[in-house]
Structure 1
Amino acid sequence: MRAVGGRAALWVTLALGLACRSRTPESATDAGPTRTPVTQATLPSCEALLPADVREAMLPGFTMKQERACPTCGPLCIFHSASEKDVTVSVTWDCQPHYTQADPHALLAPTLQAGGEEIPALGRAAARRSPAQGMLQVMAWDDDTPCALVVTWLGGEPEQAVDVARAALTATRPELLQPAAPAPPPDAGTP
């Protein structure tokens, strides 16, 4: 049982490390007009980002739990298989304004240099790597939001991580990332 706990700790460390890796000023570019930045505080919950119908289609028979991610990342959605106890999947978001203007090759470079390989036709850019035996990580940048998604699959058939990334990218819509409008002030003229 200790090995399972060690694998889970490795998995969480790798998932958060990839999603929250340091960003250098050289990689930042002008993101165009000033917009409210997407931050962990403004990203919705796992329930909103991955509605029940999306979760059931991408991971049937899995249960989801939300955990706190790093300070600049979105929620960390962790899925456990009811039938395969050794299978764990996580999805997390890293939203940065400069992702919308960054060169796709520059986005992929760190993962490719770490032994990963590019995934064609998945979002704006995508790559995969296997940092440990039985684990697959997919990092994909969304076409229509300033977000990167990191999917980590541990155990079972990790190749399914690519399908999970595709479903999560499709579910990540710009309107979900807009901060909620403040409530209008009470009407002062009403008694």
Structure 2
Amino acid sequence: MGELAHGTMLIGALAGTACTMAGLRGRHALDLAAAAVMLAAMVDMAFIGFLPALVWAVLLLTTGLALGARLRRFRAADGRGIRDHRSSRELHRALAFIVGAWAFAGATASGVAASAHDHAAAAGLAFGAAVVAMTVFGGWLVVGLLRGGRGSRLHAAEAASTTVMLAAMALPSLVPALG
């Protein structure tokens, strides 16, 4: 299952990066940097193993927080909240990085002591709930974007690839938590 999960994560990261690069017209450098960090993390996790998972967790968390801080500025500027799809996309992207960082941190803590098993199981279930919530949010976002017309298809593809990648990241750590 590990190879399938790594392959799915890598395909999701590649698709998300391609969508980000294709939609650069209105994007900031932060979007491109975030896509590069996620792609590098997936490549390293799948093939190389150059950096420890904890380093990737910190990088992903920092990127997610930067994306979230930018969302706050967008929301303050237009005053609409997450009812519009742009804010929802930005929120989904920021949360995906944060939950992805949680997945990397969980991979670091996979060798917990037997005395900490109950705590690890509870953390695994909380992580599973976060992934399910992100998957539902991603599905809702993709459907809403696809209803938005032709101009939203690129954003829908990005949201779908991020959602699939996040679910694939979570699967290896969730299966032991459920067993």
Bigger helix share: 2
Q: Please report the TM-score for the alignment, with normalisation by the length of structure 1.
A: 0.27
Larger radius of gyration: 1
Greater RCO structure (CA 8 Å; 6+ sep): 2
